[in-house]
Amino acid sequence: MAVVSTRNLTKVFKEGELGAVNNVNLETREGEFLVFLGPSGSGKTTLLRMIAGLETPTAGEILIGGKVVNDLTPRERRIAMVFQSYALYPHLTVYKNIAFPLKAQNVPKDQHKQKVEWASSLLGIGDLLQRKPRELSGGERQRVALARAIVREPSVFLLDEPLSNLDAKLRLSAREELERFHRRVGTTTIYVTHDQVEAMAMGDRIVVLNKGVVRQLGSPKEVYDDPADTFVATFLGSPPMNLIENADVICGFRPEHFRLAEDMKETAKINFQFRVENMEYLGAEYILSGNIVGGKVDGKKVIARLLLGHSFELGKTYDFAVPERHLKFFDVKTEVKVAPRPLTWQ
Ligand code: ADP
Ligand code: MG
């Protein structure tokens, strides 16, 4: 187990252009499951590849276990990386696939069996060792890729969207399996994804990236409940947080914090009229989208997420409220979080 940290880590692919990764400072905790979350092109893979030693930084340092590793090869860093396309060797059995890194590193052959058995039993694939990859399901192949990665007992695990080739159902079970696996081995893990649900579900903490810049590093609860800026506020959550600009401030509130005014027990709240323009029935809840009617923010589009219990009609206007404690405030220019302030909407 080891702590990974970066100091002002930067990667510029073409001189004069914006960096793919800009001045990133972060530190994992011992044994942590840290998630890099961001949209496509935000620099997640580049950051991970620099940590792995597969990409040379333009500037900055990478430390593993407190030592600068910039000049070490990937192998010397004792890191295991699993990519989106995990590329098992099709002509080799599962056993030989898992043993491959041992062979490549000249680990004495008499140790292979014991190590392969250890890794495969940890992932529950001990009975598949004589099969070829084509005889496995997607989830089993993924487990073989993980077993191959852990067989060298790495100090750090780097996973780059390892589940994105799986279908939705398999993804969920593979996710649970990865979580269980991490609890068992306790190896410091950095996991890359563009999927905010996956990030929230799996991460001890999440690094939210945009344009190669760390926007926020915090627990899932921190980044969801207390986003550092409007990017984080809207990237996490589905539907995203409503943002309404009024004077020098942007006010944000999440769709699930809407209530019909008549159902609202809290006294500190904002009230507004909401005309329902579209309605999605999702079984356990409604997603309503429409406009605010009247006041200074007349016509602003908003989305509400409501549990069943009321019926709504398209084109009708309802009295809604949001508790003040759920309102977030951001600066109009910088889009960065600012202190709460009185709202002057109505
Ligand atoms: P993500 O993994 O978040 O989708 P990447 O790290 O792959 O993002 O890419 C970040 C940015 O760097 C993108 O704009 C991408 O086009 C650019 N980039 C990535 N790899 C290279 C490369 N080898 N050469 C030039 N530009 C690259
Ligand atoms: Mg990527």
Mean pLDDT estimate for the chain = 92
- pTM summary value: 0.91
Say which ligand is closest to the CA of 210.
Answer: 1
pLDDT in single tens digits along all 346 residues of the chain: 689 999 999 999 998 889 999 999 999 999 999 999 999 999 999 999 999 999 999 999 999 999 999 999 988 998 988 876 668 999 999 999 999 989 888 889 999 999 999 889 888 899 999 999 999 988 888 889 888 988 888 889 999 998 877 778 778 877 888 888 899 888 999 999 999 999 999 999 999 999 999 999 999 999 999 999 999 999 999 999 999 998 889 999 999 999 999 988 888 889 999 999 999 988 889 999 999 999 889 999 999 999 878 889 999 999 999 999 999 999 999 999 999 988 777 6
| Cα 235 to ligand 2 centre (Å) | 17
Distance (angstroms) between ligand 2 centre and the Cα of 8 equals 20
* pLDDT reported for residue 85: 67
Tell me the CA–centroid distance for residue 84 and ligand 2, in Å: 9
pLDDT at residue 170, as a whole number: 74
Closest ligand to C-alpha of residue 56 is 1
Q: pLDDT at position 14, please?
A: 93
Kindly give the distance from the C-alpha atom of residue 76 to the centroid of ligand 2, in angstroms, as a whole number: 24
Ligand 1 pocket: which of 13, 85, 196, 207 to mutate (most atoms within 8 A of CB): 13
Residue nearest atom 13 in ligand 1 by C-alpha distance: 41
Atom of ligand 1 nearest to the CA of 36: 3
Q: Ligand 1 atom 14: the closest Cα is on which residue?
A: 41
Q: Best mutation site among 15, 46, 195, 231 for ligand 1, i.e. most ligand atoms within 8 A of its Cβ?
A: 46
In the reported structure, the alpha carbon of residue 41 is separated from the centroid of ligand 2 by a whole-number distance in angstroms of 7
Pocket of ligand 1 (CB under 6 A): 13, 20, 38, 40-46
Instruction: Encode the chain in three state secondary structure.
Output: CCCEEEEEEEECCCCCCCCCEEEEEEECCCCCEEEEECCCCCCHHHHHHHHHCCCCCCEEEEEECCEECCCCCCCCCCEEEECCCCCCCCCCCHHHHHHHHHHHCCCCHHHHHHHHHHHHHHCCCHHHCCCCHHHCCHHHHHHHHHHHHHCCCCCEEEEECCCCCCCHHHHHHHHHHHHHHHHHHCCEEEEEECCHHHHHHHCCEEEEEECCEEEEEECHHHHHHCCCEHHHHHHCCCCCCEEEEECCEEEEECHHHCEEHHHCCCCCEEEEEEEEEEEEECCCEEEEEEEEECCCCCCCEEEEEEECCCCCCCCCEEEEEEEHHHCEEEECCCCEECCCCCCCCC
